[in-house]
Amino acid sequence: MGIADIHGHYAFGIDDGAKTIEDTKKLLKYAKENGVSHIAMTPHIKPGKMDDDFMSEYYKAMKETSQIAKDYGIQALVGSELLLNDLTYDYLKNKQFYSLNNTKYLLVECDINKDFEDTKQFYLDLLYEIEISGYTPVIAHVERYFKEIDLEIIKHWIHLGYVIQMNIQSLYDGSASEKKNAITLLKHGYVHILASDSHSVNNFRKPSFNKGIKELSKYCSKEEIKTLLKENPIHILKGEKVKSLVKGGNS
């Protein structure tokens, strides 16, 4: 079994990720060369910015992408990256999203353009709402929300059973704060899953796992790398419990 990349914009023509079928093919080829065997397609869902036909177009793009992925020996599964904003409550009620491979795990993102500390209570309330709707939040690229990572909130989320996802690219090509936060998170073991958040082979967010693993091995053991890139993402896709890597405890 290879790497399972559960956050990526591989499906074409639906968001700011792959634009054309050719873009998708290039991303899949590059992913395969980087040891990927499974992906979850997670196009953005930005509540309030989608029209009525969007969800059917969305599903169609994922269905076509998953057919193409077979040619590259990659199993492509459904998903979404749901933005947390004021209108997310309605989207939850109407189930306008795809959980990861239709499991209880739902990939969500905070708004990187808002100050996290000012919006913290809003996110806590909304994440609770997601929980009582029957889903476990998988919080996307947590290292990107803070100038300096708020370890207390990450610890709290882990305690609540939420899943922490980090972009592997933040380790080698992120901003100074993203890189610093990424390293801090790894040192505490406050990450469950690494993913690419791939958008295009032409920009920095592509599935460069070979490069990422070299950087990762400075902070993690081989066993931990296997958990972050293979075992935990597969647990997510099967709807199973993820393994904690929290140092000195089993939160």
* Smallest distance from Fe ion to CB 11, Å: 12
223, 245 contact by CB (below 8 A): no
d(CA 177, CA 182): 8
Residue length of the chain: 251
Nearer to Fe ion, 5 or 81 (CB): 81
φ and ψ at residue 107, rounded to 5 degrees:
-80, 125
- Letter string b/e over residues 133-168, b meaning 16 or more CB atoms within 10 A of that residue's CB: eebbbbbbbbbbbbeebbeebbbebbeeebbbbbbb
* Burial letters 111-125, b for 16+ CB under 10 A, else e: eeeeebeebeeebee
3-state class (DSSP) for residue 16 = coil
Residues that bind Fe ion (CB under 5 A): 81, 197
242 with 193: CB under 8 angstroms?
yes
State in angstroms the smallest separation of the CB of 247 from Fe ion.
27
Give 77 or 189: the residue with its C-beta nearer to Fe ion: 77
End-to-end Cα distance, the chain: 27
- Distance, in Å, from the CA atom of 93 to the CA atom of 111, rounded to the nearest integer, reads 20
Q: What's the closest the beta carbon of residue 8 comes to Fe ion, in angstroms?
A: 7
Q: Among all residues, whose Cβ is closest to Fe ion?
A: 197
Shortest CB 138 distance to Fe ion, Å: 11
Nearer to Fe ion by C-beta: 173 or 197?
197
CB closer to Fe ion, 189 vs 205: 205
CB of 140 to Fe ion, least distance (A): 6
**Minimum CB distance to Fe ion, residue 23 (Å):** 15
